[in-house]
Amino acid sequence: MIPLFKSHYSFGRSILTLEDKATNDENSEDSLFPLLEIAGLKELYLVDDHFSGFLEANSVCAKRGIKLNYGLRMTVCHDMAIKNEESLSSNSKVVLLANNLAGYYDLIKYYTWANTDGFYYEGRIDWKTLRAHWNNDNLTLCIPFYDSYVFNNLLTGKVCYPDLFTDVFYFSEDNDLPFDGIVNSFLAAKMENVVPAKSIYYNTRKDFQAYLARRCIDKRSNFDKPNLDHMCSDEFCFESWMEKVSNE
Amino acid sequence: MNKDLLRFQDDKVFTFIDCETLNLCLHPFHNLPWQVSLIETRGGKTLKEHDYYPNFWGDEDVPISDDAKRITRFDQRRFNEVSVDPQSAAESIYEILNRADYICGHNLLGFDVYVLRGVFQKYGLDWRMMMPKIIDTLALMKGVRLGAKYDKGSDTLLSYQYKQINTIAGRLKCSLGALGKEFDIEHDYDRLHDGLVDLRLNVKVWGKIQYMVEI
Give residue-wise pLDDT tens across range B78-128.
999 999 999 999 999 999 999 999 999 999 999 999 999 999 999 999 999
Alpha-carbon torsion angle A161, A164, A170, A176, nearest 10? -10
Whether B97 and B112 have beta carbons less than 8 Å apart is answered as no
Tell me whether residues A232 and B27 touch, CB distance under 8 A: yes
Q: Which residue from B minimizes the CA distance to A222?
A: B25
Tell me whether residues A157 and B23 touch, CB distance under 8 A: no
Report the pLDDT value the prediction gives residue B193, as an integer from 0 to 100.
Answer: 67
Tell me whether residues B30 and A208 touch, CB distance under 8 A: no
Chain A interface test: which of B27, B111, B160 (most A C-beta within 10 Å): B27
Average predicted confidence (pLDDT) for chain B: 92
Q: Which residues of A touch B109 (CB under 8 A)?
A: 178
Q: Which residue from A minimizes the CA distance to B63?
A: A224
Q: What is the mean pLDDT of residues B24-28?
A: 95
Q: What parts of chain A have a pLDDT lower than 50? A: none
Q: Which residue from B minimizes the CA distance to A216?
A: B25
Q: Which residues of A touch B65 (CB under 8 A)?
A: 224
A1, B34, B49 from A36: Cα distances, Å: 14, 42, 53
Whether A150 and A162 have beta carbons less than 8 Å apart is answered as no
Closest Cα of chain A to B153: distance in Å?
13
Q: Looking at per-residue confidence, does B99 or B192 come out higher?
A: B99
Task: Report yes or no: B26 at the A interface, CB cutoff 8 Å.
Answer: yes
Tell me whether residues A178 and B109 touch, CB distance under 8 A: yes
Report the pLDDT value the prediction gives residue B22, as an integer from 0 to 100.
Answer: 93
Q: Which residues of B touch A156 (CB under 8 A)?
A: 162-163, 166-167
Report the pLDDT value the prediction gives residue A112, as an integer from 0 to 100.
Answer: 96
Q: How far apart are CA A29 and CA B129, in angstroms?
A: 37
Q: Which residues of A touch B23 (CB under 8 A)?
A: 223-225
Q: Which residues of B touch A224 (CB under 8 A)?
A: 22-25, 30, 65, 67
**CA proximity to A8, closest of A206, A226, A203:** A203
Q: Which of B27, B113, B166 sits opposite A156 (nearest CB)?
A: B166
Q: Which residue from A minimizes the CA distance to B32?
A: A224
| Total CB pairs under 8 A between chain A and B | 68
Closest Cα of chain B to A183: distance in Å?
9
Q: Which of A157, A208, A232 sits opposite B166 (nearest CB)?
A: A157
Report the pLDDT value the prediction gives residue B69, as an integer from 0 to 100.
Answer: 85
**Confidence class of residue B65 from pLDDT cuts 50, 70 and 90?**
confident
Q: Which residues of B touch A234 (CB under 8 A)?
A: 27
Report the pLDDT value the prediction gives residue A226, as an integer from 0 to 100.
Answer: 96
Indicate if the pLDDT at residue B32 is higher than 90.
yes
Q: What is the mean pLDDT of residues B155-177?
A: 89
Q: How far apart are CA A55 and CA A18, in angstroms?
A: 10
The residues in B 101-140 lying below 8 A from A, measured between CB atoms, are 109-110, 113-114, 117-118, 128, 131
Tell me whether residues A154 and B162 touch, CB distance under 8 A: yes
Report the pLDDT value the prediction gives residue B192, as an integer from 0 to 100.
Answer: 66
